[in-house]
Amino acid sequence: MNNISDRKSKGTLLWRFSRKFQFAADKIIPDSLVFCLILTFVVYVAALIFTGKGPLQLCLYWYDGLWTQLSFSMQMSLMVIVCATCAKSKQVTRLLGNLAGVIKNPASAMLILMIWGFIASFINWAFCSMSCAVLAMEISKRVKGVHFPLMIVAGYCTSCLGQCLGPTASVYALLATEGNYMQERLGGVLTQDVTVYNPTNITIFIVLAIITMILAVFTRPPLEQRIEFVAEEDDKEQEAEWMKVDRTTVAGILNSSRIIMWLVGIAGLAVIAYNFYTKGFLGALSLNFIILIFLTINCFLYSTPVSFVGAHKDSMKLATEVMIQFPFYGGIAGIMASSGLAAIVVAGIVNVATAKTLSVWSYISASVVNLFIPSQGGQFIVQGPLLIDAAHQLNANTIPVINAFVYGDEATNLLQPLYIIPPLALVGVKLKDVWGFMAFIWFFWTIFTILGFAIVPGLFGVL
């Protein structure tokens, strides 16, 4: 990235307000690994004080938690690698470049990016965040006046907010599954037409989506303060090195064989078609399946074994932070869940609630706990039973409580950096360059979401 100028200028009112949050990012927020380790220390000390567990026992909880994220960290690492490899191919770069080429100004660039993001979020949050980063990169190369870090944040926001109305959110998918562990507490399976597509949830989502788009479009820096994307050196020379194969030998012929990669790609297409046919479009879109889709695409984009390996090898450095940090968040979750600290936090918040305010407190408690257990499914295992039991005790409607939990979980994904690490790695942006904007949008989300759950359920007769 490149600062066009250091000359001071006011920019829009929203820009000036956002800079107050950026000051914290510049002066306080460290790199993402340090952020994660500080959270670990905070949780450890809090558990030591409030749970009565010993120092060694907490270390063992941390150790056990480290390995709970191995599968997920591998999935996310592969997601970064295969998406980055796909995005850097000549064909995809040309396609996205053509799309970005029709955009004429920063406002339309931001709107098109976010519209794409909301659509992509209904497919999968990971696909949304990665594809938005790629599209932002291509737009920033072609449209003058866009602020690249803000575009990355805007795309990431669509990934988070889209989960509140999308069918792939883990809590909604869980509660719609026959035999889930919450079924008895809830009196049966809750299908998504009840949990997701109800008037309260749709209304709050639409309001937040509009607010987010307004913030993104009208938070404009002066031209001299914008930060533009600067591409790394062209990979053509590197690709030329991959293609330098001695085709006079059997090994060289095999290494440069298009038939091998095409056969693998065809097999991948067959599996993709079968899963779509048997499970439906949305039902098939698991993380593993999306990784397979990109691997299959890459078999055709890099159609020889040597170029396929070389392209992915070049992208592997982008996954370093993901592979290192995800286990540490697993350690945090291990301390929170096994020590009982998460239950203490939730119970303390819920105890002050009433039937009318429980959804608001559900949002607040989910926001707090998500800072330390940044996994919606894992967090709901700890927090879900407590919230549903509280709803029953207070005779409150459980649906807004569940919706508020999802919004709270997604909101503080704008404060803790776990899920933005992959797109940041893809485009080479530091956490401190975007955290201020994330906190700025979180501030507005929190205000309007709390107001929403305090007011909107009553408008539809939901108490």
pLDDT tens digits, 394-440: 889 999 999 999 999 999 999 887 788 888 888 888 888 898 899 99
How many domains does the chain contain in total? 2
Q: Do residues 222 and 247 share a domain?
A: no
Task: Output the pLDDT for position 288.
Answer: 80
Domain boundary at 289, 316, 343, which?
316
Contacts 24+ apart (CB under 8 A), 99-103: 99/135, 99/138, 100/135, 100/138, 100/139, 100/141, 100/142, 100/143, 101/142, 103/139, 103/142, 103/143
Q: Do residues 333 and 430 share a domain?
A: yes
Task: Output the pLDDT for position 75.
Answer: 80
- The 3-class secondary structure across 50-102, one letter per residue, is HCCCCHHHHHHHHHHHHHHHHHHHHHHHHHHHHHHHHHCCHHHHHHHHHHHHC
Asked whether the predicted pLDDT for residue 24 surpasses 70, the reply is: no
**Confidence band of 6 (pLDDT split at 50, 70, 90):** very low
Domain of residue 271 covers 240-316
Asked whether the predicted pLDDT for residue 5 surpasses 60, the reply is: no
- pTM score of the predicted model: 0.79
Q: Is residue 393 part of a domain?
A: yes
Average pLDDT rounded to a whole number, residues 54-83: 85
Q: Do residues 203 and 311 share a domain?
A: no
The model's pLDDT over 159-216, given as tens digits with 9 standing for 90+, comes to 999 989 987 777 887 788 788 778 888 888 888 888 999 999 999 999 999 999 999 9
Q: Do residues 131 and 39 share a domain?
A: yes
Q: Do residues 260 and 281 share a domain?
A: yes
Q: Do residues 27 and 98 share a domain?
A: yes
Residue 228 DSSP class: E
Distance CA(140)–CA(428), nearest Å, equals: 14
First to last CA, the chain: 49
Q: Is residue 235 part of a domain?
A: no
**In 219-316, which ranges are continuous DSSP H helix?**
236-242, 250-255, 258-279, 287-301, 305-315
Q: Do residues 223 and 133 share a domain?
A: yes
Q: Do residues 196 and 293 share a domain?
A: no
